[in-house]
Amino acid sequence: MSDQNQLDDSPPQDQKLPLDSWHRRQGARMVSFAGYEMPIQYEGIMAEHVWTRENAGLFDVSHMGQVVFTGDSADKELEKILPGEIQKLGVNRIRYSLLLAQDGGILDDLMVTRRSDDIYAVVNGATKYDDLAYIIDNMPDSVTINLMDDHALLALQGPKAGAALASFIPEVDTLYFMMAGAFVLDGMDLWISRSGYTGEDGFEISVAAQDAEKLADILCGHEDVKPIGLGARDSLRLEAGLPLYGHDLTAEITPIQADLGFALNKRRRAEGGFAGAQRVLGEHKDGATMKRVGLFVEGRQPIREGAIIVDDAGKEIGQVTSGGFAPSLERPIAMAYVPSELSVEGTALTAQQRGKPFAVTVTKMPFVPHNYRRKPKA
């Protein structure tokens, strides 16, 4: 066997983040995730979770795909594969949307921002290359698509995130939830959105990869900011009731099943014209057979992804897609898909994990109230 064949047959190596060495200097424990070596924790998941809920945590989410679309028809063309209102999205405004397959299944969830000269989107790290291939196949040549693989993405999250970042960049105080803008800090060009994945106030900050360490050092120099790993990011988003692609969202799940009907804007519901519209709008009108719900789990032992929901005869009728211990509530919680008629708050169900039954109750999400900084109504 030649050296080339040996190379081709070897398992793919995880990529390193721009901040890889920085994480290791901070004492991070690194794990493989979405094709990257990523920090799962520094001090400990529980401590980092609590710190973020009470102060401000800095997350490295540079594995995410940052994509820029340019061309006069980019917004119109994106609406063919996204059910969101993109054409009327204001400059420096952000919209949560879904990349839909032709049958209405969810290929990814993403954030879309209209900037003055282009449209900027952040897609999930594990799906970004598949997303790009699908988008390219469904976009005309008049739209230019650029993956910003020379940029890092950091998320500063927590109730003290706003004050911490404003101490370095006072102008960010003009941003409210789902707003964004361009800023400069110590010679670094930053694109900052007031958004995140923890349910807390916070920001996502796009920065040139070569400046990532400098930015991380500046932010963590603030007394209220600490680096936080993937472990706490997952428990925070679960408490916030936010779905994770590849777990709570898949190509077999539709927006209505996922309880994401809010992503179907009024004009798009009336006009359709997006991938899978017939199925998705049919479910929006008549309801879907299954629905994503939150669950409170009795006792102290968490149930995990893959646990099943069973009826009185022990027959599988649903499945848990995310689960774990909620530090803020000091109890286990989960998300699951169940028949729609069983999705009413307060419904008692039985989950089964490794043959052991667990009493669960359908509850409203988010489990922990969101703490976004929303713009006051006029």
CATH 2.40.30.110 fits domain 289-363: yes
Asked if residue 83 has a cis previous peptide bond (ω within 30° of 0), the answer is no
Tokens standing for residue 274: 């997006």
Backbone angles phi, psi at 228, to 5 degrees: -130, 140
Q: Are 351 and 360 in contact (CB under 8 A)?
A: yes
Q: What is the pTM of this model?
A: 0.95
Task: Tell the residue number behind the tokens 């993403």, with chain if given.
Answer: 110
Please tell me the distance from the alpha carbon of residue 360 to that of residue 47, in angstroms, as a whole number. Answer: 27
Beta-sheet pairing, 202-208 with 188-193: antiparallel
Beta bridge partners of 119: 69, 114
Query: So what's the pLDDT on residue 358?
Result: 98
Give the phi and the psi of residue 238 in degrees, each rounded to 5.
-65, -45
Q: Do the domains 289-363 and 3-61+150-239 match in fold?
A: no
Residue 299 parent element (H or E): none
CATH of domain 3-61+150-239: 3.30.1360.120
Kindly tell me the sign of the dihedral angle through the C-alpha atoms of 91, 96, 102, 107.
positive
Kindly report the backbone phi and psi dihedral angles of residue 336, in degrees, each rounded to the nearest multiple of 5, phi listed first: -150, 165
Mean pLDDT, consecutive 10-residue segments, the chain of 378 residues?
A: 38 88 98 96 98 98 98 97 98 98 98 98 97 97 98 98 98 98 98 98 98 98 98 98 98 98 96 98 98 98 98 96 98 98 98 97 98 92
The neighbour count for residue 24, using CB atoms within 10 Å, is 13
Closest by Cα among 309, 156, 298, 326 to 234: 326
- Contact between 98 and 127 under an 8 Å Cβ cutoff? The reply is no
**Cα angle 37-58-326, degrees, rounded to a multiple of 5:** 85
Gap between the Cα atoms of 153 and 169, Å rounded: 17
pLDDT at 12: 67
DSSP H helices in the chain: 3-9, 20-25, 45-54, 74-78, 128-137, 161-166, 212-220, 230-239, 266-271, 277-286
Helix 45-54 / helix 230-239 crossing angle, nearest 10 deg: 60
C-alpha–C-alpha distance, residues 214 and 331, integer Å: 38
| The pLDDT value given to residue 377 | 86
> Where are the domains positioned within the chain?
3-61+150-239, 289-363
Helix (H) or strand (E) holding 341: none
